[in-house]
Structure 1
Amino acid sequence: MPKAIAFAEFGSPDVLRVQERDVPQPGPGQVRIAVRVAGVNALDHKIRSGQMNQVFPVSLPHVPGVEAAGVIESLGEGVEGLTVGEAVFGQTATGAYAELALADAGRIAIKPDTVGWEQAAAIPVAAETTYRALELLRVQPGETLLVHAAAGAVGGVAVQVAVARGLTVIGTASEANHDHLRALGAIPVTYGDGLVERVRAVAPQGVDAALDAAGRGGAVAASVELTGNKDRVVTIADGQGAAEYGVRFTSGGGDEYRGEPAFQEALALVAAGKLELPVFRAFPLAEAAEAHRLSEGGHVTGKIVLTV
């Protein structure tokens, strides 16, 4: 029986356990993937801790993980344009922390041979979130974009995509990550008290739009003050702040999902040498708890992944 990482109760990373699961059978429009690498996201540990249960309820035991790269093992009814044995990456319909996972055919893409497994697993959430957020912000070449948590997995991709689109990007991060942001093409500023003044000092021309990937530290309030326009502020991490300040909170659910164009753009930028997908650390699947501890600790530049 295939193995997976699951939790039977909400709590600390210690609730994550290796379990054997039945082989998942793909439904109409789905494929079964033999997972090679699964991505670790903040959503995963927020669900595991129980803090998301009001808005993102799950049945227990639950297998975490929403993105993976692997090989198609089986096709569900009606799937066209994909074949068994193809290497793919994308967002999964069942938990990705597993040897086998299901994915909707419309939410995966073919992995080029030039992209490694770990890098492919780092694309889905960060690329789709970036594309969706920049679309909602209606950014245009020549504008200035502020990205909060710019050194993280999503923020780092957002910085590079925005720079490639011709924007000036200001990124918030701890001072230890400022050289990293400069290498990505961003102007770094330190978050915390005095952020608004620091941003204005490096952007006397003003800030046109802001993406909050941090969800803390008053990022939404500062973004509204800097842009002067709540319609050009988007947060992916602070629903409460969005409601308080009247800005857009986006999670990618329903009609918001923009995977196909996002993956196409990301692969094109990777091929052109304009998008790097750094992996901060890779853990074996059985060490998912350690991966969660590292993810929850923050200050990670790049992606944390699980190898299967």
Structure 2
Amino acid sequence: MALRILAADYGDPEAVLQIVDQPVPEPDDGDVVVRVRSAGVNPFDAKQVRGLVGADPAKLPLSIGGEAAGVVHAAGASSGFRPGEEVVVYPATGAFAEFLVAPAAHVHRKPADLGFNEASALLLAGVTAADILATLELTADDVLLVHGGAGAVGSIVVSRAVTAGATVIATASPANHVHLRSLGAVPVAYDGDLLAAVRTAMPSPVTAVADTVGTDQAIDVSLALVPADRIVSIAAWGLTGEGITMVDGSTPASRRNRREAIAGLLDDAAAGRLAVEIGGTFPLQDTAAALSALGGHRPRGKLIIHP
């Protein structure tokens, strides 16, 4: 038997999450069963439980958790994997569990030099950042404004854009400004007159915007700085009519950008070229507390569940 987290209903995680004991899954021919060592917690998980991305009763109970790292427990004959291999699962369904089953195409070999925590925290944020940057097609001549530069996605956008030669300005609370400078960005606080702060911090005009927060302030400032078609967002839902590009993995181009980024992200994280910051760890039975800790925002560093 194996423990897993299910949401019996939509609502507050503390009220609707249950820990249940179920049989260890068996793999079909092309599947892999993974003994989970760590699972990344993402804002989408909290939104899913609360019913903010759809509340269809027919989908209950919900299996939660979209990325994990662990060890192959069992593998289908045509999966290409064998028991004992260390792997990363992304995208995953039901990663908040002791065991999960996934199609072999969603299972990736974990580099030996990459820890389980870091591996389980990397790919969802990493491929999202890669999708943003591929969509913007930045060059060394660009000046990029990143809203939410200290979050999991924002930090990778900043790091990758700086490596590509772009000049980067990033918004964050003052407590995270040292972190942003260490990544090579010019930090600005988002309280007060953000538009004036951005213009003061960077004499060269902003040429592109990566938005990870979706607030009215972030969007208004972005539209004052660049044409809408130079803004790419993962959070500005409902504003695509203004010409802002949303990337969420739902289009062929977005899916391709994300798929093609996986191998490079794993290699770069293992080699130390890409830092993965862990913001805290929670045992499986405290999954509700982990989701509540997100508090509707994107804290610096990823939260991790340990089954």
Check whether TM > 0.5. Answer: yes
**So what's the TM-score if we normalise by structure 2?**
0.92
CA RMSD, Structure 1 to Structure 2 (Å): 2.0
Residue matched to 1:16: 17
Secondary structure of 1:219's counterpart equals: helix
| Partner Cα distance (1:10, 1:93) in 2 | 20
Tell me how far 1:297 sits from its aligned partner: 5.2
Deviations 1:148-199 (A, max 9, x none): 1111111112111211222211111111211111122211111144212211
Separation in structure 2 between the aligned mates of residue 75 and residue 230 of structure 1, nearest angstrom: 47
Specify the alignment match of 1:123 in structure 2. Answer: 122
Aligned to 2:97: 98
Change in 2 beyond 3 A, CA 1:304/1:218: same
What TM-score, normalized by structure 1, do the two folds share? 0.91
Cα distance change on mapping 1:215 and 1:22 into 2, 3 Å: farther
Q: Give me the whole-angstrom Cα distance separating, in 2, the residues matched to 1:105 and 1:189.
A: 43
Identical amino acids, percent of aligned pairs: 38
State the Cα deviation string for residues 86-107 of structure 1 (Å, max 9, x = none): 1111314421101111223223
Residue 242 of structure 1: aligned partner: 240
Tell me, in whole angstroms, the C-alpha distance in 2 between the residues paired with 1:29 and 1:220: 44
Distance in 1 (alpha carbons) for counterparts of 2:25 and 2:250: 23
Residue in 2 that maps onto 1:37: 38
The one-letter amino acid of 1:146's match is L
Per-residue deviation, 1:272: 4.5
- In 2, Cα distance between the equivalents of 1:90 and 1:219? 33
The alignment status of 1:138 with 2:137, answered yes or no, reads yes
> What are the Cα deviations for residues 63-82 of structure 1, in whole angstroms up to 9, with x where unaligned?
211001111222235323x3
Change (3 A) 1:137 1:73: same
Correspondence 1:32-181 to 2 at 5 A: 32-53=33-54, 59-76=59-76, 78-80=78-80, 82-181=81-180
Paired position in structure 1 for 2:181: 182
Structure 2: where are the runs of 5+ without partners? none
Instruction: State how far apart, in whole Å, the 2-side matches of 1:51 and 1:166 are.
Output: 37
Maintained 8 Å contact 2:72/2:82:
yes
Given that residues 220 and 242 in structure 1 are in contact (C-alpha distance below 8 angstroms), is that contact kept between their aligned partners in structure 2? Answer: no
**Residues 270/94 of structure 1: CA separation in 2 closer, same or farther (3 Å cut):** closer
**SS at 1:237 equivalent:** coil
Q: Which residue of 2 aligns with 1:196?
A: 195
The one-letter code matched in structure 2 to 1:172 is T
Query: Which moved further from structure 2: 97-106 or 69-78?
Result: 69-78
Structure 1 window deviating more from structure 2 (69-78 vs 39-48): it is: 69-78
Task: Please give the alpha-carbon distance, in whole angstroms, between the structure 2 residues aligned to 1:27 and 1:129.
Answer: 29
Which deviates more from structure 2 when the two are superposed, residues 199-208 or residues 254-263? Answer: 254-263
Q: Secondary structure, in 3 states, of the residue corresponding to 1:123? A: helix
Distance in 2 between residues matched to 1:58 and 1:140, nearest whole Å: 46
- Which letter does structure 2 place at the counterpart of 1:221? D
Deviation at 1:27, TM superposition (A): 4.0
5+ residue gaps in structure 1?
none
SS in 2 for 1:240: coil
Contact 1:156 1:302 in 2 (8 A): no
8 Å CA contact retained: 2:280, 2:304? yes
Amino acid at match of 2:133: L
- Three-state SS of the structure 1 residue aligned to 2:84 is coil
1:76 maps to a residue whose letter is G
Number of residue pairs the alignment of both structures matches: 304
1:252 match: 249
CA–CA distance in 2 between the matches of 1:40 and 1:198? 32
Q: Which residue identity does 1:235 align to in structure 2? A: S
CA distance in 2, matches of 1:16, 1:213: 27
**Aligned pair in 2 of structure 1 residues 168, 29: CA closer, same or farther (>3 Å)?**
farther
Query: Is residue 288 of structure 1 aligned with residue 249 of structure 2?
Result: no
Residue 62 of structure 1: how far off its partner (Å): 0.8
1:205 and 2:204 correspond: yes
